[in-house]
Chain A
């Protein structure tokens, strides 16, 4: 087993527990173990875009200190928002030693962060460290006949300096699905925002976004939508049902699952480890129908 420090984030300990559970089970099949960071704290979810707000970087840096205390240099995240915020903050403090000096001085109860922690997303680990061919060799339940629409959203791709793939034409998920035997369904809205936290302040905006995103996937015949973010999943699930009844082919809604769940399913992980019971629209019927049990 290869162990790698792992940052779960709040939602993966609550509503999105299936995202983590399936990841652990899938990685075990691949010989990897996610070692949860001790005493981790919320990353802050959204990266501060102001030039002078060092306080918003305290939360990410505190997590990097936890990695440093383990004597490790890498940190893998599953949630796209956590990945983006942690990764951008790691670059923000690396760019200017004065910023880091001031953050370290503020956190005088902690050892100084010396820089150098590299934040990765699990998709990068799967693609670059484990390798899709290695994964393909371990597939026990090939997803032949399953039409899967990847939904990237924003945080895996933008800005470019932290994007894990081309911001306009990503293929990291498409390739993964194809190695698992599935057919990737393309959609022009796969890299467009789901409405994000506006679901709290302006829920109608999220509804409108989701109608476009899910509608496009439905028209292209997707059986499933796959995400890497608990907020995307929440929006795509909660806002699609009242809206897409009029959309052809989406009468019962399209299930939204995490990429780790699809991976774990294909690798033959047992049903109870897949975490599908947390989904608002049950993906099990369509999986059973297309792929079989």
Chain B
């Protein structure tokens, strides 16, 4: 009985995706995941290291390519007082790293009907009054793995400059690290998204978008939609693979 449990624990702790032969590894580093030490190859990303150490991602991993923002991670390196932030899929391990993932930032996400909202700073402050609490400490900017000037866009939001918020926040991947670190408890990325949407309202709609929307509402694609909706799982998979092959994406 006892042995069976130990066996199950051992199994559960085996690397989920390693693809790495220990014999090939020349350099090793020690990292601490949630306080526990693991010896991992020196050249891999935090995400690979977490998996190498035996963890299986249920949340906290997405595109694995730096776009989705799901793998926000905070860490310190032994001997350095700074608390750093990074995307696990985009950052190499360092010896003596203490890390934990923050796969989700608890944040109020107000709902609004964008077509009813006036594109102004007043609208932003209506939904995100905590913008007024910014103390210009710049901690958000230091935490941003995308290297955005986060504080600058919060300041622009406060003064109602939607265009500047849009420009400065455009590459935000909504990982939430800014909001986790903010002493003023601002939800930067949701505020920036509203600002971009409001700013978008002030821009002319591109012709090709207008054209496509017209065709959709005229029912041009209805038949094709219905056909796909009626397919079974295997047919859908086959269709997907076929399309990817045609695009040259899937071998």
Contact = CB atoms under 8 A, between A and B. Distances in A.
Q: Do chains A and B directly touch (beta carbons under 8 Å) in the complex? A: yes
Given A13-B161, A14-B160, A42 B137 contact: no
| Chain A interface category by residue count | 10 to 19
By DSSP majority rule, is chain B's interface helix, strand, loop, or mixed? loop
Interface string B133-172: 0111110011000000001100100111100000000000
Contacts of B142: 109
Interface string A50-81: 00000110110010000000000000000000
B159 A56 contact: no
Contacts of B103: none
B138 A42 contact: no
A219 B51 CA distance: 78
A164 to B, nearest CB: 25
Interface in B98-157: 120-122, 134-138, 141-142, 151-152, 155
Contacts of B158: 10, 42
A145 to B, nearest CB: 37
B134 A39 contact: no
A187 interface: no
Nearest to B156: A13
A109 to B, nearest CB: 6
A44 interface: yes
Interface residues of B, number: 18
Nearest to B129: A200
A107 B159 contact: no
Interface string A201-231: 0000000000000000000000000000000
A243 interface: no
A59 B137 CA distance: 7
A42 B159 contact: yes
Contacts of A62: 136, 138
B143 to A, nearest CB: 12
Interface in A70-124: 106-107, 109
A199 interface: no
Which 6 A-B pairs rank lowest in CB-CB distance, beginning with the nearest?
A59-B136, A10-B159, A14-B160, A13-B159, A41-B136, A41-B155
Interface of B: 120-122, 134-138, 141-142, 151-152, 155, 158-161, 183
13 contacts: A13-B159, A13-B161, A14-B159, A40-B155, A41-B134, A42-B134, A42-B155, A42-B158, A42-B159, A44-B136, A55-B183, A58-B137, A109-B141
